[in-house]
Amino acid sequence: MCCMDPAYLTPSAFTPPALAYLCSLTTNSSSNISFRLFSNTSPSVTTTSTPNSSTPTPVTPAAADKPPSPTLDLLSRQLAAGDYRQADETTRALLIDLAGESARRRGYVFFSEVQFISAEDLRAIDELWREHSNGKFGYSVQKRLWEKARRDFTRFFIKVGWMKKLDTEIEQYNYRAFPDEFVWEMKDDTPEGHLPLTNALRGTQLLGNIFMHPAFEEGQEEEPTEESVTATTSGQSKDDSKGRERPKFMKDFKPNYSF
């Protein structure tokens, strides 16, 4: 009879009474004994006991698969497949990686670190977004809309669909909840410039520094703003437009994103 007959393996022999174990024994030609313990509250653990050692040697389980490292090739494949949600996450990871060691340790980019991202890399990210969205998404697209909104971030957020209009008598907008209220598909009514997203939880300086990066300065002509186009087509003078103030609902908005 085996000295470790299962009939004698009670829970109290190994662990507190809260755990219950089953034991399975195997032997080999070298007289080694291996047994596997199965717990109803923890993963299985395999140990090996040898005649010359009374201490079991743990067998390390296989490491869990790590997410793929962010690369331009990965971003290209995700965008080509229309997986805009994953492409957005890869873009965010790319910016962190390209911004330097401090950003990588921290897990996010300070606005002052945008300058460390090369124009070539940032332009490559932008070109992939534009290429796989028929020119609808990308940082350069967002910058154009931001300039058109007179660099007013609240107007810009409304234009690209990062804010939603509330069903109220008075015109009001609120920030969309991440991720469910953002658009992850290419549709006819998907707002231009809706992607990629940029975290504004710590303010708009990060997004502003991306727009002002040298990657997007070359060969770009300033487009007329909505106000200047309206004034030109209607024959209004500057004096006629003096009373056109920013709507009340757009004043004192503070970004509160967590993506």
Q: What is the pLDDT of residue 245?
A: 54
| Residue bearing the bigger pLDDT, 128 or 13 | 128
pLDDT in tens, 185-220: 999 999 999 999 998 888 999 999 999 999 999 654
Q: Over the chain, what is the mean pLDDT?
A: 76
Residues 6 or more apart whose CB falls under 8 angstroms from that of 53 comprise none
Give me the pLDDT at residue 54, please.
Answer: 56
Q: How far apart are CA 150 and CA 103, in angstroms?
A: 30
Average pLDDT over residues 46-53: 50
pLDDT band per the 50, 70, 90 thresholds, residue 55 = low
What CATH superfamily classification does 72-216 receive?
Answer: Gun4-like (1.10.10.1770)
Whole-angstrom distance, CA of residue 51 vs CA of residue 49: 7
Rounded CA separation 140/64 (Å): 38
The pLDDT of 140-162, averaged and rounded, is 97
Q: Are 45 and 145 in contact (CB under 8 A)?
A: no
Q: What is the pLDDT of residues 8-20, one digit of tens each?
A: 444 444 444 444 4
What is the separation, in whole angstroms, between the first and last Cα of the chain? 63
Cβ contact 113:61 at 8 Å: no
Report DSSP state, residue 111. Answer: G
